[in-house]
């Protein structure tokens, strides 16, 4: 090669190398795809004597079993003043912090889910905490800020920095009824923003999630997030639930999975936000079907353009029906995970 050409070639290689170095700066490495489990029942399952077994039938810590099945993220709900009912209570601030510490010790990433209730909040009910009943709206704004700040501060004191925090759980109709209903979007946006500001005041790096159910319903999400934008609601990530079992007629996932994918792609394009399936589940008695559904959901999330599909979280995979009476876990009557959980092992 002539000397001039050789010098040009070396210069070209140097430019490629320099460009590569500028792209791969420290701290820019993309984080692992979220493979998660919401395990709010775990403490009480253990407290009441439930035993967890691995695939070989050996008793093990549930965290180890989950980790051995690819789970790298734990989602935890927190309730204001819950009862001691084993299935519909607990998840107090202290219990949530203790579980978050435990998750972190297992090397798990942590998501905290504020329900702003004393028990379940979901599309069918968004009952405000009993201690907040009778408060006027300015006081409710303060309640949300103070409670959120308090929980986040205790997490920080315990050495836990949640990577994600949710304000409200499945809130297509709003939260903290009636003041925070979507019938009054200006007030709902203010409540959301109080949660947002309290979270960021304690943990600026935590990503803020708003979460709706029916992840395959594009019109629902478009209407809701158009309103969120119009009223100045702050958020970083759009969270979706996807439960084919609860769709009308209990249709097979193959009838709605493409709609889930299209909705996520549309959300990213329309609002320039990241998306995550923060709840998913399938029938425990049909582990192969649930496995296939999970694989399909993971593929759809990974296919979201620009790497903006962050991951998938199974809701109470360890919540065995024999203990919880819940039929969408990924655990069998033998105390072992079903084949469904193996979906998270796929690279």
Structure tokens at 94: 């202290």
Half-sphere exposure (Cβ direction) of 90: Cα atoms closer than 13 Å = 19
Nearest to 199 by CA among 158, 231, 237, 235: 235
Placement of tokens 């008793």 in the chain: 59
Residue 244 makes CB contacts below 8 A (sequence gap 6+) with 250, 251, 252, 253, 255, 256, 257, 282, 293
Q: Which residues of 154-183 are buried (b: 16+ CB within 10 A; e: fewer)?
A: bbeeeebbbbbbbbbbbbbbbbbeebbbbe
| Assigned token pair, 143 | 């309640």
Distance between CA atoms of residues 43 and 128, nearest Å: 24
Nearest to 208 by CA among 87, 111, 132, 307: 111
Would you call 46 a catalytic residue per the annotation?
no
Single out the catalytic residue among 170, 179, 274, 316.
Answer: 170
- C-alpha Rg value of the chain to the nearest Å: 22
| 279 counts as catalytic | yes
CA distance 180 to 155: 26
Q: Which of 95, 179, 279, 316 is catalytic?
A: 279
Query: How large is the greatest C-alpha to C-alpha distance in the chain, in angstroms?
Result: 86
Strands (E), 158-292: 164-167, 207-212, 237-242, 274-280
Taking the C-alpha atoms of 175, 181, 187 and 189 in order, what is their torsion angle to the nearest 10 degrees? 60
By annotation, the residues acting in catalysis are 170, 279
């Amino acid at each position: 090669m002539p000397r001039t050409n050789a010098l040009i070639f070396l210069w070209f290689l140097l430019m490629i190398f320099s460009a590569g170095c500028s792209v791969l700066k420290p701290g820019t490495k993309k984080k692992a795809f979220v493979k998660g489990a919401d395990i709010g029942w775990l403490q009480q399952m253990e407290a009441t004597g439930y035993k967890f077994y691995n695939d070989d039938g050996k008793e093990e810590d549930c965290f180890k079993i989950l980790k051995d099945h690819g789970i790298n993220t734990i989602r935890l709900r927190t309730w204001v003043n819950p009862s001691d009912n084993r299935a519909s209570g607990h998840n107090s601030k202290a219990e949530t912090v203790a579980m978050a510490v435990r998750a972190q010790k297992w090397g798990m990433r942590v998501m905290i889910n504020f329900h702003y209730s004393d028990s379940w909040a979901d599309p069918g009910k968004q009952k405000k905490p009993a201690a907040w009943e009778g408060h006027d709206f300015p006081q409710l704004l303060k309640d949300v800020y103070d409670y959120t700040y308090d929980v986040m501060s205790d997490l920080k004191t315990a050495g836990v920095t949640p990577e994600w925090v949710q304000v409200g759980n499945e809130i297509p109709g709003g939260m903290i009824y009636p003041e925070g209903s979507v019938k009054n979007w200006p007030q709902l946006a203010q409540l959301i923003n109080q949660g947002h500001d309290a979270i960021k005041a304690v943990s600026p790096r935590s990503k803020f999630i708003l979460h709706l159910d029916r992840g395959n319903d594009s019109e629902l999400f478009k209407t809701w997030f158009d309103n969120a934008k119009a009223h100045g609601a702050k958020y970083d990530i759009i969270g979706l639930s996807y439960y084919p079992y609860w769709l009308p007629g209990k249709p097979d996932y193959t009838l709605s999975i493409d709609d889930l994918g299209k909705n996520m792609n549309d959300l990213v394009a329309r609002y320039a936000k990241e998306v995550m399936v923060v709840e998913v589940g399938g029938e425990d008695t049909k582990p192969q079907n649930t496995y296939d559904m999970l694989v399909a959901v993971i593929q759809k999330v990974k296919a979201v353009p620009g790497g903006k599909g962050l991951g998938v979280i199974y809701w109470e995979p360890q919540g065995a029906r024999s203990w919880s009476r819940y039929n969408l876990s990924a655990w069998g009557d033998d105390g072992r995970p079903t084949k469904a959980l193996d979906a998270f092992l796929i690279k």
